[in-house]
Amino acid sequence: MIGDALRRERERQNLTIHDIERETSIRALYIEALEQGEYDKLPGEVYAKGFIKNYANFLELDGEDMVKKFIMEISPTTIAPEEAKPAVEKPAAVAEKKSDAETSTVAKTRAQHRAETNADSEDDKKKYLVAAAAALIFLIGGLIFAFSGGDENSVAQQEVTQPVETAQEVAQPAEPQPQQIAQVVPPSGVNLQATFSGDCWTRVAVDGVVVFEGMANAGQVFDWNGTQNVNVILGNAGAANFIMNGQDIGAIGAIGAVVERTFTR
């Protein structure tokens, strides 16, 4: 059992539980639970892995190997799963989305073309009506001229001229009104960058979905983006330096400390 191995090594080095507590920042209550195999007294499996790794490393044991043995101990018939990775969208799904976008664009283009065609048709109708009205007016004027004298011709000419001017005014197209273009506001979210100066067991959930769980090694740099939040659990909090949305936050805990933090927008 993992707890027996840790206890034997601690006693071989003449160390007490309080010595381990002082050096690793792990509470004595949890150290005793680990050594006795009472895992239900621990705050959770994630914390248990961090405790075991830090405890083993302090005793100069292989912390990663002890964590693997712990996983096999609590699930002896389960093969250790690969680290959670963000779901990769299938090419077919991408192609389908692209096809939908192209279809939408074509539909919008056709609708715009129909609108322009209808507008041209309305203009043609107005021009036809104006021309017909003008022709009718001139026809009436000619008849009046044929059956009336000079003065009456002048009156008829006035009657003919006034409707033509009115028809020309009707034919003038309305000035286009300026359209208001909606401003697109870029979405806000959480961008979290982590730089590790030492080995640290790490679990990261973006908007409630676990995207990383495992050992982050010294020198590694990670970049996570969330819409609502990014939740981080560290088994060695002092080994990670964080930058959120361009602001340097630094470490969120001490070396060897197990810390959980949720970064929100």
pLDDT tens digits, one per residue of 177-199: 544 444 433 457 999 999 999 99
Please tell me the distance from the alpha carbon of residue 39 to that of residue 20, in angstroms, as a whole number: 18
Assigned domain for 117 exists = yes
User: Considering the entire predicted model, what is its pTM?
Assistant: 0.39
Identify whether residues 62 and 114 lie together within a single domain: no
Give me the number of domains the chain comprises.
3
Split at pLDDT 50, 70, 90, the class of 103 is very low
Which residues span the domain enclosing 25?
Answer: 2-74
In this structure, are residues 225 and 242 in contact, taking their beta carbons and an 8 Å threshold? no
CATH label of the domain that carries residue 17: 1.10.260.40
Identify whether residues 235 and 165 lie together within a single domain: no
Identify whether residues 166 and 215 lie together within a single domain: no
Please tell me the distance from the alpha carbon of residue 67 to that of residue 95, in angstroms, as a whole number: 42
Average pLDDT of the chain is 75
Which residues fall within 8 angstroms of residue 158, CB to CB, at 6 or more apart? Answer: none
Identify whether residues 100 and 67 lie together within a single domain: no
pLDDT of residue 137: 77
Assigned domain for 120 exists = yes
Identify whether residues 63 and 97 lie together within a single domain: no
Assigned domain for 105 exists = yes
Long-range contacts at 212-219 (CB < 8 A, ≥ 24 apart): 212/83, 212/84, 213/46, 213/83, 213/84, 214/83, 215/64, 216/240
Assigned domain for 83 exists = no
